[in-house]
Structure 1
Amino acid sequence: MMTTINYQQHLLPLSRQQLVDKLAEALTEDRFHHVLRVEQTAIKLAKQYGVDLEKASIAGLCHDYAKQRPDEDFLREIKEDGLDPDLLNWNNAIWHGIVGAEMVKHELDVWDEDILNAIRHHTTGAPVMSPLEQIIYMADYIEPGRSFAEVVKARELTAKSLTLGVAYQTEQTLAYLVERDLPVYPATILTYNAWVPQNKGEL
């Protein structure tokens, strides 16, 4: 059953339905339904872990806002906003979170830093993440549409502890990239070092 949050905190100048309508225009049908599932998963986790439900809804819906934008939009945003020039060496997998958060800020008028950080870090993680950031990081990974082998354990660990969920996802993500000889974004390594070793015995 879907939980619909009535936005009352003026965290953006839109109702939830107006935001959903914008996302329906910006994303393919599959991606749109993914963000709806992430929102619902984020709300469920926010209820469990005492996190603001409205922020969880907005961050969950907006986490992939920029996912299907053309590369030139990201490149322009990086240069115009004076973001880390190293971002120019990466691609959509990294940009849609880190650079996408700036697009959410400027285009949807969202200025809450916790929401923006949750969007920024939902793919790479970060050495320090607020409970909302952890929730979006995990909700994107474990939403009901996911069916990869590790997702069952990820869901179990997240239900037990956000910290364990974050550590497990980070461990699995790094292993996935290394096994396939894919480049690892530096923040992902920092996330691994901050979250995995001290929780290794419980994973």
Structure 2
Amino acid sequence: MKLTRDELIQSVSAQMPEKRWRHTEGVMQSAVLLAKRYGADPVKAELAAILHDVAKYWPSERQEQLLRDKGLNDELLLYDKPLWHAEIGAYVAEAEYGIDDEEILNAIRYHTSGRVGMTLLEKIICLADYIEPGRDFPGVDHIRRLAETSVEAALVAGFDSTINLLVARRQIIYPLTVLSRNDLVKQLELEGEL
């Protein structure tokens, strides 16, 4: 089902509280800005941003059922529920909204965890989710400053923030997040930025 931009926004925004939609609007704004700054496609960036949290407020039972029944990454069931919506969101973007661009789907799929070998669009959506104007957490201004000159350095700082928070809370860390962070550090080392 192909929708216009406005129809897509109407459909996605109806699936979340107004506050979360304001977050999504901030991610859209940040993603387009980052895409223009770093040479990614701003249309794809906005589309991925619109859809990145489409399933975030679906009941856990519904998300779990989709992970099990649709052959999705059910390994996520071993980790915190906030990780699930990214995988579900990519599925929904394709199955219900007709998005067939693998780069957009992966940007949605990996916006919470990252992955080794992230594309520029994947990095941008993940980073936009961290730095959108409504975000307010310790270190966010530092991440925003880094984002002005390096997507990778900003994402490392974002992942460090997430990992440190999970450690402080004695929560399980999804291994892909650590691998993603380490891959970005290696990229920065190769480019002489560390």
Match of 2:43 among 48, 54, 58: 54
Match of 2:183 among 182, 194, 198: 194
The alignment partner of 1:108 has SS state of: coil
Using the alignment, how far apart are the partners of 1:25 and 1:172 within structure 2? 30
Q: TM-score, normalised by structure 1?
A: 0.88
Using the alignment, how far apart are the partners of 1:58 and 1:92 within structure 2? 24
Q: TM-score, normalised by structure 2?
A: 0.92
Using the alignment, how far apart are the partners of 1:148 and 1:91 within structure 2? 20
The number of aligned residues is: 192
Match of residue 159 from structure 2: 170
Match of 1:124 among 113, 129, 143: 113
Using the alignment, how far apart are the partners of 1:111 and 1:131 within structure 2? 18
Using the alignment, how far apart are the partners of 2:174 and 2:88 within structure 1? 14
Moved more, 167-176 or 125-134: 167-176
Using the alignment, how far apart are the partners of 1:99 and 1:193 within structure 2? 25
Match of residue 22 from structure 2: 33
Displacement after TM superposition at 1:198 (Å): 6.0
- Amino acid aligned to 1:111: D
Cα displacement string for residues 131-178 of structure 1 (whole angstroms, at most 9, x for unaligned residues): 100000010000000121211110111110111111111122111111
Q: Percent identity?
A: 40
- Amino acid aligned to 1:116: L
Unaligned runs of 5+ residues in structure 2 are: none
Cα displacement string for residues 43-63 of structure 1 (whole angstroms, at most 9, x for unaligned residues): 011111111111011001110
Q: Is it true that 1:145 corresponds to 2:134 in the alignment?
A: yes
Displacement after TM superposition at 1:88 (Å): 2.3
The alignment partner of 1:160 has SS state of: coil
Compute the RMSD of aligned alpha carbons: 1.8
The alignment partner of 1:187 has SS state of: helix
